[in-house]
């Protein structure tokens, strides 16, 4: 890619013919191609073992592709560019334990900031701000290992948010949060996205996908479908073939249609309801 | 016989020596057969701590428990003659993080560990491992793989299989469906429900999924800041106004039912606790 085009690049991430195999256990991803535009919010869905986490680890250079290329903000991901690219993409891992390096929650949030060489004053400010944002300000001196599951997830999220990267990947980052906590985090992700942050969320909770711009569905390591959120949310066949489900109001809509049961305005109503979950 | 907690409090030790009160005077009785319970409550409210007491992985700092006839109190001296192994055989606990449970070289050995540890023969344990892996939705090829080289949801399934293979009398699962794909979630909830109905066993599930609570639970326990704040009927729980204070949410079914009732004046009264019942009712009132 011609770097002179710098400011004209519309795609934040461009993935071409990506393939990956873990040594012993066969192919985890094959011939995956898609783009993520700057400022876009993409949801990745797919059955257990479909390759979602593998894809996210490839994106931040934690795994090396067996084939194909990944381009981030005009830069091809490789041995030399990986450090630059990690400053642009933050990832909240599926298992928060894999994220923790510090002795205390505070150290942990600081760690990512130190890597970005954020000045001390600014660092202190951000630790405070983001610990508060995820409601963990009272736990700054605690060991991450001595937290509950949901508290660990909150800390992992704070650590990445504090880095203020251009792109953030959330790999099932809210799977252990209580309903209210989950909604708070989702609202905040929405706000970040509106401010221009490119967002990729990986989830099994269909309700979390409604706010995104597009949905990518993986199945057995391949792209089954990618399209506007609305289209995929209504695509019963695609969803079910990757062990997913229709949102409840849309399932109702689908069943009524199948049985030729109509009612004025009900369809539009169910659609609106599904967007509000 | 049952699991009975009397004034149980629990304090974690911390590096700053201040300690952290995770259970605060909990009183509860769980029958050893016939119950299907969900345990819910906000992040950090003490759910995982509570269930780790139920098979005596943790013991009270104050108060006492009686687990299937074995009395456990708050002092090491009084507990010195307690046989913990039989308790852990009878009360099977699946951890919130599967990583805490997986440690063998292969998935097969991992699943066999529990049964063998409690006296089941090698060949019987092998047979159970094969059955259990299929029950959790994975095929036989997973048996020879390393439990560490699996996806998050696959690890979760293996950790569940390990406890199912022990065939405990009481089955306790700490967020068993987080990280499962929707079909896997539904299938496994059915498995737990079947274990409960066909063998009349007690099953207790921790979850943040209100739909699970509403659809399956006969009884729901709610925790807040280490205390048990609700113990009773799930239908009643969700008709209360204070569930917001407990960081809970209204199940999707109820939201949809209420919305249909108020916007389209459709008759959604009576018990509609799952998708099937909802669709059936809609068909009736719309056609
Ligand atoms: N470290 C590893 N070594 C070998 N195989 C692995 C490893 N991690 C994952 N796999 C395999 O690669 C495939 C894709 O796994 P991945 O973790 O990307 O799935 P996923 O879509 O994130 O699933 P989940 O929803 O369960 O988190 C799976 O078949 C899995 O068994
Ligand atoms: N090993 C530990 N040392 C010190 N404190 C701990 C430890 N484990 C948990 N705690 C604290 O005890 C409280 C209860 O934790 P617990 O894990 O029981 O919560 P939980 O209800 O299971 O939460 P979640 O839904 O987030 O999993 C939390 O505030 C937590 O920080
Ligand atoms: Mg994953
Ligand atoms: Mg917990």
pLDDT for position B239? 85
pTM reported for the whole predicted model: 0.96
Domains of chain B by residue range: 3-97+168-249, 251-287
**Could you tell which of B97, B143, B150, B188 is best to mutate to test the pocket of ligand 1, judged by most ligand atoms within 8 Å of the CB?**
B150
- Decide if pLDDT at A4 tops 60: no
Mean pLDDT of B78-101: 94
For A192-219, the pLDDT digits (tens) are: 999 999 999 999 999 999 999 999 999 9
CA distance B201 to chain A (A): 26
Distance from Cα A204 to the centre of ligand 1, integer Å: 15
pLDDT for position A259? 87
For A111-151, the pLDDT digits (tens) are: 999 999 999 999 999 999 999 999 999 999 999 999 999 99
Reduced 3-state DSSP string for chain B: CEEEEEEEEEEECCCCCCCEEEEEEEEEEEECECCEEEEEECCCCCHHHHHHHHCCCCCCCEEEEEECCEEECCCHHHHCCCCHHHHHHHEEEECCCHHHCCCCCCHHHHHHHHHHHCCCCHHHHHHHHHHHHHHCCCCHHHHHCCCCCCCHHHHHHHHHHHHHCCCCCEEEEECCCCCCCHHHHHHHHHHHHHHHHHHCEEEEEECCCHHHHHHHCCEEEEEECCEEEEEECHHHHHCCCHHHCCCCCCCHHHHHHHHHHHHHCCCCCCCCCCHHHHHHHHHHHHC
pLDDT for position A5? 52
For A11-56, the pLDDT digits (tens) are: 999 999 999 999 766 799 999 999 999 999 999 999 999 999 999 9
Q: Which of A142, A243, A249, A265 to mutate to test the interface with B (most CBs of B within 10 A)?
A: A243
Provide the mean pLDDT of chain B: 95
* Binary contact (A48, B181; C-beta < 8 A): yes
pLDDT for position A23? 77
- Candidate CATH numbers 3.40.50.1980, 3.40.50.720, 3.40.50.300, 3.40.50.10490; the one for domain B3-97+168-249: 3.40.50.300
Separation of CA B122 from chain center: 28
* Binary contact (B152, A53; C-beta < 8 A): yes
Q: If you take atom 17 of ligand 2, which residue's CA is the nearest one?
A: A148
Provide the mean pLDDT of chain A: 94
pLDDT for position A235? 97
Please name the residues in contact with B1: beta carbons below 8 A apart, sequence gap of 6 or more: B32, B68, B69
Please, how many CA atoms are within 13 Å of residue B141, restricted to the half-sphere of its CB? 4
Distance CA B17, CA A143 (A): 13
* Binary contact (B152, A95; C-beta < 8 A): yes
- Cβ of B149 closer than 6 Å to ligand 1, yes or no, is yes
Instruction: Specify the DSSP class assigned to residue B38.
Output: E
């Amino acid at each position: 890619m011609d770097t002179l085009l710098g400011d004209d690049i519309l795609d934040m991430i461009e993935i071409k013919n990506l393939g990956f195999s873990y040594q012993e256990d066969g192919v985890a991803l094959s011939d995956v191609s898609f783009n993520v535009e700057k400022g876009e919010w993409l949801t990745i869905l797919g059955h257990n073992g479909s390759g979602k986490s593998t894809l996210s680890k490839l994106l931040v250079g934690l795994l090396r592709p067996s084939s194909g290329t990944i381009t981030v903000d005009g830069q091809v991901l490789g041995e030399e560019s990986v450090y630059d690219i990690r400053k642009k993409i933050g990832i909240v891992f599926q298992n928060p334990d894999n994220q923790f390096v510090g002795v205390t929650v505070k150290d942990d949030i600081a760690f990512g900031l130190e890597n970005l060489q954020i000045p001390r004053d600014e660092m202190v400010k951000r630790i405070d701000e983001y610990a508060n944002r995820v409601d963990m300000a009272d736990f700054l001196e605690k060991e991450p290992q001595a937290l509950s599951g949901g508290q660990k997830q909150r800390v992992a999220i704070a650590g990445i948010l504090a880095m203020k990267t251009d792109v953030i990947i959330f790999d099932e980052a809210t799977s252990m949060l209580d309903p209210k906590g989950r909604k708070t985090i989702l609202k905040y992700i929405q706000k970040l996205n509106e401010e221009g942050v490119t967002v990729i969320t990986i989830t099994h909770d269909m309700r979390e996908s409604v706010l995104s711009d597009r949905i990518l569905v993986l199945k057995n390591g391949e792209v089954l479908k990618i399209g506007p959120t609305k289209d995929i949310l209504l695509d019963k066949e695609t969803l079910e073939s990757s062990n997913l489900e229709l949102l409840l109001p849309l399932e109702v809509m689908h069943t009524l249609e199948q049985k030729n049961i109509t009612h004025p305005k009900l369809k539009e109503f169910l659609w609106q309801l599904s967007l509000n979950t | 016989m049952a699991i009975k907690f009397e004034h149980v409090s629990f304090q974690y030790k911390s590096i700053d020596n201040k300690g952290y009160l995770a259970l605060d005077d909990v009183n509860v009785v769980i029958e050893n057969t016939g119950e299907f319970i969900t345990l819910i409550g906000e992040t950090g409210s003490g759910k995982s701590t509570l269930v780790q007491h139920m098979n005596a992985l943790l013991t009270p700092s104050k108060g006492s428990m009686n687990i299937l006839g074995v009395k456990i109190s708050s002092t090491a001296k009084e507990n010195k003659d307690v046989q913990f192994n039989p308790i852990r055989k009878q009360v099977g606990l699946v951890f919130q993080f599967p990583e805490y449970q997986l440690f063998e070289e292969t998935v097969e050995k991992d699943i066999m560990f529990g049964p063998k540890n409690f006296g089941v023969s090698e060949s019987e344990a092998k047979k159970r491992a094969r059955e259990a892996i299929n029950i959790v939705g994975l095929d036989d090829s997973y048996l020879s793989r390393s439990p560490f080289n699996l996806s998050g949801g696959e690890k979760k399934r293996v950790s569940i299989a390990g406890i199912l293979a022990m065939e405990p009398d009481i089955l306790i699962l700490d967020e068993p469906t987080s990280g499962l794909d929707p079909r896997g979630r539904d299938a496994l909830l059915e498995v737990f429900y079947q274990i409960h109905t066909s063998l009349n066993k007690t099953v207790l599930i921790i979850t943040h999924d209100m739909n699970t609570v509403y659809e399956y639970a006969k009884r729901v326990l709610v925790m807040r800041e280490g205390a048990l704040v609700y113990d009773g009927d799930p239908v009643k729980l969700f008709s209360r106004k204070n569930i917001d204070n407990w960081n809970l949410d209204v199940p999707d079914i109820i939201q949809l039912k209420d919305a249909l009732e108020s916007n389209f004046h459709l008759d959604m009264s009576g018990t509609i606790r799952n998708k099937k019942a909802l669709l059936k009712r809609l068909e009736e009132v719309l056609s």
